[in-house]
Amino acid sequence: MNVPIPGLAARRAATSLVHGVLQRGRPLDEALDDPKGPLAALDARDRALSRAIAGASLRRLGSLRGAIKKFLRKPLDPRGALESILLTGAAQILLMDVPDHTAVDLAVEQTNHDRAAKPFAPLVNAVLRNIARERESLGEFLDDPSRDVPQWLDDRRIKAWGPETAKAIAAAERAEPALDITAKSDAIEWAQKLNAEILPTGTIRLLPDGPVPELPGFNDGAWWVQDAAAALPAKLVKAKAGQRVADLCAAPGGKTAQLAASGADVVAVDRSAPRLRRLTENLKRLGLSAQTVTADATQFKAEPFDAVLLDAPCSATGTIRRHPDVAWLKGPEDIEKLAALQARLLDAAADLVKPGGVLVYSTCSLEPEEGEGQIAALLKRRPDLERDPVSVEELGGQTEFLTALGEVRTLPCHLARGEPRLSGLDGFYAARLRRRP
Ligand SMILES: C[S@@+](CC[C@H](N)C(=O)[O-])C[C@H]1O[C@@H](n2cnc3c(N)ncnc32)[C@H](O)[C@@H]1O
């Protein structure tokens, strides 16, 4: 019987996660949640290690590719596992607290276990040893955060936000972010119980040292995981008890939970039945309720609502700090397609708002076509709508989140607070409109 080599299973799983993203276009979350996926057979410690290695490899993909290339004479065949083995090995050496010899030996071991890659075991050994030995000379690859942003995306950011902000966004995406939590109530009390801090917008922020479900309050449904930026749009609805509120594109339900916690009667619409099932499970844990409807929101018809929240499907380029695979899975063509869908969803959402009622639109995208541009175009085609400007008080006094038009625009480089892991928030856009009475 073969004796398992300590640490090998976690490295193989990490390589498989990275390979899945880069070669098969498989989103990291999908692979992580897959009961038959790469992490299935691992214990909690190895799962965490595997996730950390895969996360670092994808977060710093451009830097690591540059460092690896320096020691290659020929380009790698992108089809096999070889590149992913080198990336995960280099990530451990350059970015993680793993002894060099462990990272190198386990990468070589993995190569020997892979029939196609096996002949390249000496190459893996040589490249990773060189990286470890010459780490001081790799600054040109490691120091520029823009290297970790695909060129097309960096170009778009420079155009939208200017070169300095584009670089600051890329720099903010380098740190693995803290855990952000929204409390159902008593946020200050929960921040104390969790030994966490509370942000000006009310989000609780912490660096947990164990799995989320083991934190106090999780099983009691006292809070849910939600990025500080993602917590803003539902607040703009200002839902009140007794109001009828529609949450379009609702799953997995972070914003539905906020709306339901306000006491409003919430109808949560999503076209994905499995995702709506997750929403229902999440609300159950939290002791909250909402009516769920599986429907395409462009076709959904109902009595008009006091308020409608449309958190539209988008390219998610604002969430790269939490989901580093997004940068490498999306392309400019996705933004174009999603922008067309968002426009149709906005028209349908506007029709569902009562005269005098509120429409809040949000996306977790940094692309103006999915945010500012959508609302400017909607207001041109729909004279029955007007902006209802957001005030800085609604954003916990964070002037940097507020635009001149009274819309919300958060960038990952906002909320800079010294320690990178406790800084930043997802890039979100949100606007509040009112249907004229
Ligand atoms: C950004 S996520 C929503 C996140 C959610 N609002 C939250 O806070 O947890 C987008 C959602 O839109 C749903 N979706 C995409 N196209 C849709 C459509 N045409 N009609 C309804 N839902 C749609 C997806 O299934 C996905 O659950």
pLDDT 10s digits, 274-305: 999 999 999 999 999 999 999 999 999 999 99
Is the pLDDT assigned to residue 79 strictly greater than 90? no
426 assigned to a ligand binding site: no
Do 138 and 13 reside in the same domain of the chain? yes
Between the CA of 337 and the centroid of ligand 1 the distance, in Å, is 15
Burial letters for 187-216: b for 16+ Cβ neighbours within 10 Å, e otherwise? beebbebbebebbebbbbbbeeeeeeeebe
Ligand 1 neighbourhood includes 270 CB (under 6 angstroms): yes
For the stretch 318-351, pLDDT in tens is 999 999 999 999 999 999 999 999 999 999 999 9
Phi, psi dihedrals of residue 428, rounded to the nearest 5°: -130, 155
Separation between Cα atoms, residue 341 and residue 189, nearest integer Å: 41
Separation between Cα atoms, residue 17 and residue 27, nearest integer Å: 9
Is the pLDDT assigned to residue 4 strictly greater than 90? no
User: ipTM higher than 0.95?
Assistant: yes
Residue 218 DSSP class: T
End residue of a domain, out of 92, 109, 143: 143
Ligand 1 neighbourhood includes 254 CB (under 6 angstroms): yes
Between the CA of 153 and the centroid of ligand 1 the distance, in Å, is 23
End residue of a domain, out of 119, 143, 167: 143
Ligand 1 neighbourhood includes 311 CB (under 6 angstroms): yes
pLDDT for the residue numbered 80: 86
Q: How confident is the model at residue 267 (pLDDT cuts 50, 70, 90)?
A: very high
Do 121 and 264 reside in the same domain of the chain? no
- Taking Cα atoms as reference points, which of 208, 177, 178 lies closest to residue 194? 208
Position 175 in a domain: no
In this structure, which long-range contacts are made by residues 277-280, counting pairs with CB atoms below 8 Å and at least 24 apart in sequence?
A: 278/251, 278/252, 278/253, 279/250, 279/251, 279/252, 279/253
Position 370 in a domain: yes
> For position 121, which CATH number holds?
1.10.940.10
For the stretch 101-148, pLDDT in tens is 999 999 999 999 999 999 999 999 999 999 999 999 999 999 999 999
The proportion of the chain whose per-residue pLDDT surpasses 70, expressed as a percent, equals 100
Is the pLDDT assigned to residue 399 strictly greater than 70? yes
Range of the domain at 339: 230-435
> For position 359, which CATH number holds?
3.40.50.150
End residue of a domain, out of 88, 116, 143: 143
413 is catalytic: no
Do 139 and 237 reside in the same domain of the chain? no
Mean predicted confidence (pLDDT) in 249-261: 97
Is the pLDDT assigned to residue 1 strictly greater than 80? no
- Taking Cα atoms as reference points, which of 14, 58, 5 lies closest to residue 38? 14
CA nearest ligand 1 atom 24, residue? 249
For the stretch 23-71, pLDDT in tens is 999 999 999 989 999 999 999 899 999 999 999 999 999 999 999 999 9
Domain count, the chain: 2
> Rg (Cα) of the chain, in Å, rounded?
23
